[in-house]
Protein backbone atom coordinates (compact mmCIF):
# COMPACT_ATOMS: atom_id res chain seq x y z
CA UNK A 1 0.00 0.00 0.00
CA UNK A 2 2.75 2.44 0.91
CA UNK A 3 4.47 1.96 -2.43
CA UNK A 4 1.21 2.21 -4.38
CA UNK A 5 0.31 5.63 -2.96
CA UNK A 6 3.82 7.05 -2.52
CA UNK A 7 3.91 10.66 -3.76
CA UNK A 8 5.55 12.27 -6.75
CA UNK A 9 7.44 15.22 -5.25
CA UNK A 10 8.18 18.24 -7.41
CA UNK A 11 11.23 20.13 -6.13
CA UNK A 12 11.96 23.77 -6.92
CA UNK A 13 14.50 24.48 -9.68
CA UNK A 14 18.12 24.82 -8.55
CA UNK A 15 18.08 28.51 -9.42
CA UNK A 16 15.36 29.05 -6.81
CA UNK A 17 16.35 26.53 -4.15
CA UNK A 18 19.89 25.29 -3.48
CA UNK A 19 18.74 22.68 -0.92
CA UNK A 20 18.05 19.08 -1.89
CA UNK A 21 16.85 15.96 -0.02
CA UNK A 22 19.10 13.19 1.28
CA UNK A 23 18.63 10.19 3.56
CA UNK A 24 19.39 9.34 7.16
CA UNK A 25 22.58 7.33 6.57
CA UNK A 26 23.94 9.93 4.13
CA UNK A 27 23.49 12.61 6.79
CA UNK A 28 24.80 10.59 9.74
CA UNK A 29 28.06 9.89 7.90
CA UNK A 30 28.64 13.65 7.68
CA UNK A 31 27.72 14.92 11.16
CA UNK A 32 28.92 14.79 14.73
CA UNK A 33 26.77 14.31 17.82
CA UNK A 34 27.08 16.97 20.51
CA UNK A 35 25.47 17.78 23.85
CA UNK A 36 24.18 21.25 24.61
CA UNK A 37 25.17 22.77 27.95
CA UNK A 38 23.30 26.10 28.29
CA UNK A 39 25.74 28.75 29.48
CA UNK A 40 28.71 26.38 29.19
CA UNK A 41 30.68 24.92 26.26
CA UNK A 42 28.90 21.98 24.66
CA UNK A 43 30.57 18.56 24.44
CA UNK A 44 31.29 16.21 21.57
CA UNK A 45 29.63 12.83 22.05
CA UNK A 46 30.45 11.19 18.71
CA UNK A 47 32.90 12.54 16.13
CA UNK A 48 32.23 13.02 12.44
CA UNK A 49 32.27 9.64 10.74
CA UNK A 50 31.31 7.69 13.86
CA UNK A 51 27.58 8.47 14.14
CA UNK A 52 25.46 5.53 12.97
CA UNK A 53 21.90 4.33 13.26
CA UNK A 54 23.08 1.58 15.61
CA UNK A 55 24.77 3.88 18.13
CA UNK A 56 22.97 7.24 17.95
CA UNK A 57 20.19 6.18 20.33
CA UNK A 58 22.42 4.53 22.96
CA UNK A 59 24.46 7.56 24.08
CA UNK A 60 24.40 9.21 27.50
CA UNK A 61 25.97 12.29 29.01
CA UNK A 62 25.91 14.24 32.25
CA UNK A 63 24.80 17.83 32.67
CA UNK A 64 27.04 20.68 33.85
CA UNK A 65 26.62 22.74 37.00
CA UNK A 66 28.67 25.33 38.85
CA UNK A 67 31.83 26.44 37.00
CA UNK A 68 30.70 24.28 34.08
CA UNK A 69 31.72 21.06 35.80
CA UNK A 70 29.86 17.88 34.98
CA UNK A 71 27.32 16.71 37.54
CA UNK A 72 25.96 13.25 38.40
CA UNK A 73 22.74 13.84 36.45
CA UNK A 74 22.87 11.63 33.35
CA UNK A 75 20.62 12.03 30.30
CA UNK A 76 20.06 9.59 27.44
CA UNK A 77 19.73 10.07 23.68
CA UNK A 78 16.99 7.44 23.47
CA UNK A 79 14.69 9.73 25.45
CA UNK A 80 12.96 12.84 24.19
CA UNK A 81 16.00 14.86 25.20
CA UNK A 82 16.76 17.87 23.01
CA UNK A 83 20.18 18.51 24.57
CA UNK A 84 21.64 15.87 22.25
CA UNK A 85 22.02 17.26 18.73
CA UNK A 86 23.60 16.42 15.37
CA UNK A 87 25.82 19.04 13.73
CA UNK A 88 27.46 19.13 10.29
CA UNK A 89 31.09 20.33 10.44
CA UNK A 90 30.60 22.64 7.45
CA UNK A 91 27.88 24.20 5.32
CA UNK A 92 28.45 21.87 2.36
CA UNK A 93 26.35 19.23 4.12
CA UNK A 94 23.41 21.67 4.15
CA UNK A 95 23.09 21.35 0.38
CA UNK A 96 21.88 17.77 0.59
CA UNK A 97 22.67 15.26 -2.14
CA UNK A 98 22.78 16.13 -5.83
CA UNK A 99 22.29 12.43 -6.61
CA UNK A 100 18.58 11.44 -6.67
CA UNK A 101 19.60 7.89 -5.76
CA UNK A 102 20.32 9.25 -2.26
CA UNK A 103 16.80 10.57 -1.78
CA UNK A 104 14.77 8.19 0.39
CA UNK A 105 11.20 8.57 1.65
CA UNK A 106 10.43 7.00 5.03
CA UNK A 107 6.94 5.60 5.51
CA UNK A 108 4.83 4.98 8.60
CA UNK A 109 1.55 3.04 8.35
CA UNK A 110 -1.07 3.08 11.08
CA UNK A 111 -4.58 1.68 11.35
CA UNK A 112 -7.53 4.06 11.22
CA UNK A 113 -10.24 3.87 13.86
CA UNK A 114 -13.35 2.51 12.16
CA UNK A 115 -11.36 0.84 9.39
CA UNK A 116 -8.77 1.91 6.86
CA UNK A 117 -5.23 3.21 7.12
CA UNK A 118 -3.12 6.32 7.38
CA UNK A 119 0.12 6.18 5.39
CA UNK A 120 2.66 8.86 6.23
CA UNK A 121 5.55 9.73 3.94
CA UNK A 122 8.45 11.54 5.61
CA UNK A 123 11.06 13.44 3.58
CA UNK A 124 14.46 14.43 4.99
CA UNK A 125 16.40 17.54 3.97
CA UNK A 126 19.71 18.48 5.66
CA UNK A 127 18.71 22.15 5.79
CA UNK A 128 15.66 24.41 5.95
CA UNK A 129 16.35 27.67 4.12
CA UNK A 130 13.08 29.43 4.83
CA UNK A 131 12.05 33.08 4.61
CA UNK A 132 13.20 35.92 6.90
CA UNK A 133 16.23 33.95 8.14
CA UNK A 134 14.02 31.43 9.94
CA UNK A 135 16.51 28.71 9.02
CA UNK A 136 17.60 25.56 10.77
CA UNK A 137 19.70 22.47 10.21
CA UNK A 138 17.82 19.29 9.30
CA UNK A 139 14.24 19.35 8.05
CA UNK A 140 11.70 16.56 8.42
CA UNK A 141 8.54 17.07 6.32
CA UNK A 142 5.62 14.78 5.53
CA UNK A 143 2.28 14.11 3.89
CA UNK A 144 -0.38 11.61 4.99
CA UNK A 145 -2.58 9.57 2.63
CA UNK A 146 -5.84 8.31 4.18
CA UNK A 147 -7.38 5.06 2.90
CA UNK A 148 -10.85 3.80 3.71
CA UNK A 149 -11.72 0.29 4.93
CA UNK A 150 -11.62 -0.96 1.31
CA UNK A 151 -8.09 0.35 0.83
CA UNK A 152 -9.24 3.19 -1.42
CA UNK A 153 -7.64 6.66 -1.15
CA UNK A 154 -9.85 9.28 0.49
CA UNK A 155 -7.67 12.32 1.10
CA UNK A 156 -4.13 13.66 1.39
CA UNK A 157 -2.86 15.82 4.25
CA UNK A 158 -0.12 18.24 3.19
CA UNK A 159 1.97 19.33 6.20
CA UNK A 160 2.98 23.00 6.15
CA UNK A 161 5.03 24.38 9.05
CA UNK A 162 2.95 23.85 12.22
CA UNK A 163 -0.30 23.40 10.30
CA UNK A 164 -1.42 21.74 7.09
CA UNK A 165 -4.16 21.22 4.52
CA UNK A 166 -6.31 18.14 3.90
CA UNK A 167 -7.40 17.73 0.26
CA UNK A 168 -9.94 15.21 -1.04
CA UNK A 169 -8.50 12.60 -3.39
CA UNK A 170 -10.75 13.72 -6.24
CA UNK A 171 -9.14 17.17 -6.11
CA UNK A 172 -5.43 16.34 -6.08
CA UNK A 173 -4.85 15.31 -9.71
CA UNK A 174 -2.59 12.31 -8.95
CA UNK A 175 -0.13 10.68 -11.31
CA UNK A 176 -1.89 7.33 -11.50
CA UNK A 177 -2.15 6.30 -7.84
CA UNK A 178 0.57 8.72 -6.74
CA UNK A 179 -0.41 12.09 -5.23
CA UNK A 180 1.58 15.07 -6.44
CA UNK A 181 3.45 17.16 -3.88
CA UNK A 182 5.10 20.51 -4.53
CA UNK A 183 7.96 21.08 -2.09
CA UNK A 184 8.16 24.79 -1.25
CA UNK A 185 11.32 26.70 -2.06
CA UNK A 186 13.65 26.41 0.95
CA UNK A 187 11.05 25.57 3.60
CA UNK A 188 9.99 22.28 1.94
CA UNK A 189 6.40 22.65 3.15
CA UNK A 190 4.11 20.43 1.07
CA UNK A 191 1.44 21.77 -1.30
CA UNK A 192 -0.91 20.11 -3.80
CA UNK A 193 -0.15 22.59 -6.59
CA UNK A 194 2.43 25.14 -7.64
CA UNK A 195 1.74 28.68 -6.45
CA UNK A 196 2.26 31.23 -3.71
CA UNK A 197 0.86 30.40 -0.27
CA UNK A 198 0.47 32.42 2.93
CA UNK A 199 2.48 31.22 5.92
CA UNK A 200 0.06 31.40 8.89
CA UNK A 201 0.74 34.03 11.57
CA UNK A 202 3.44 35.69 9.44
CA UNK A 203 3.50 38.29 6.64
CA UNK A 204 5.51 35.88 4.48
CA UNK A 205 4.65 33.42 1.73
CA UNK A 206 5.83 30.00 0.59
CA UNK A 207 6.61 29.50 -3.08
CA UNK A 208 5.83 26.12 -4.61
CA UNK A 209 7.62 26.24 -7.96
CA UNK A 210 7.38 23.86 -10.91
CA UNK A 211 10.21 23.04 -13.29
CA UNK A 212 12.65 21.40 -10.88
CA UNK A 213 13.58 17.73 -10.34
CA UNK A 214 10.70 15.26 -10.03
CA UNK A 215 11.18 12.75 -7.21
CA UNK A 216 9.24 9.52 -7.74
CA UNK A 217 9.42 8.35 -4.15
CA UNK A 218 8.05 4.85 -4.76
CA UNK A 219 11.41 3.93 -6.33
CA UNK A 220 13.31 4.51 -3.07
CA UNK A 221 11.04 3.86 -0.11
CA UNK A 222 11.51 2.25 3.30
CA UNK A 223 9.05 1.49 6.11
CA UNK A 224 10.68 2.86 9.29
CA UNK A 225 8.21 1.18 11.66
CA UNK A 226 7.24 2.60 15.05
CA UNK A 227 8.88 4.44 17.91
CA UNK A 228 10.54 1.75 20.05
CA UNK A 229 9.81 -0.80 17.28
CA UNK A 230 11.88 0.01 14.18
CA UNK A 231 11.55 -1.94 10.95
CA UNK A 232 14.04 -2.62 8.16
CA UNK A 233 17.03 -1.61 10.27
CA UNK A 234 15.78 1.97 10.71
CA UNK A 235 16.88 2.30 14.33
CA UNK A 236 17.18 6.07 13.95
CA UNK A 237 13.55 6.12 15.13
CA UNK A 238 14.85 5.41 18.65
CA UNK A 239 16.90 8.62 18.79
CA UNK A 240 15.11 11.43 20.66
CA UNK A 241 17.58 14.28 20.20
CA UNK A 242 17.69 17.09 17.66
CA UNK A 243 18.79 16.47 14.09
CA UNK A 244 20.53 19.86 13.84
CA UNK A 245 22.19 22.48 15.98
CA UNK A 246 20.19 24.37 18.60
CA UNK A 247 19.44 27.93 17.48
CA UNK A 248 18.34 31.14 19.15
CA UNK A 249 14.70 29.98 19.08
CA UNK A 250 12.89 26.69 18.67
CA UNK A 251 12.00 27.56 15.05
CA UNK A 252 15.70 28.06 14.26
CA UNK A 253 16.78 24.81 15.96
CA UNK A 254 17.11 21.36 14.49
CA UNK A 255 13.89 19.31 14.92
CA UNK A 256 13.46 15.91 16.49
CA UNK A 257 12.83 12.89 14.30
CA UNK A 258 9.37 11.76 13.12
CA UNK A 259 8.46 9.48 16.08
CA UNK A 260 9.13 12.35 18.50
CA UNK A 261 6.77 14.72 16.69
CA UNK A 262 3.07 14.90 17.52
CA UNK A 263 2.00 14.50 13.90
CA UNK A 264 3.45 10.96 13.88
CA UNK A 265 0.45 9.86 15.99
CA UNK A 266 -2.20 12.50 15.27
CA UNK A 267 -4.95 11.03 13.08
CA UNK A 268 -5.67 14.47 11.62
CA UNK A 269 -2.10 15.11 10.49
The percent of residues in the chain predicted with pLDDT above 70, rounded, is 100
| Angstrom distance (rounded) from CA 21 to CA 23 | 7
Per-residue pLDDT of 213-260, as tens digits, reads 999 999 999 999 999 899 999 999 999 999 999 988 888 999 999 999
User: Rounded CA gap, 263 and 159, in Å?
Assistant: 9
Distance CA 257, CA 80 (A): 10
51-90 tens-digit pLDDT: 999 999 999 999 999 999 999 999 999 999 999 999 999 9
Q: Taking the model in full, what pTM does it have?
A: 0.96
**Can you give the pLDDT at residue 131?**
77
**pLDDT over 80 (residue 193):** yes
- Domain ranges across the chain: 8-22+105-232
Amino acid sequence: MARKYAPEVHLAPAGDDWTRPANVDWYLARVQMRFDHPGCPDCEILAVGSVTQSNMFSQSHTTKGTFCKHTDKRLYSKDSEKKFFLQPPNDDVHKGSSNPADWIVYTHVKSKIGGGYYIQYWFFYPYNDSVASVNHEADWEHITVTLNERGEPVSVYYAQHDVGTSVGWASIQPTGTHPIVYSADGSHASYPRAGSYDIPSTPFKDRAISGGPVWQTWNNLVNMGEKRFPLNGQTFVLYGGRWGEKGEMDVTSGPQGPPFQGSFYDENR
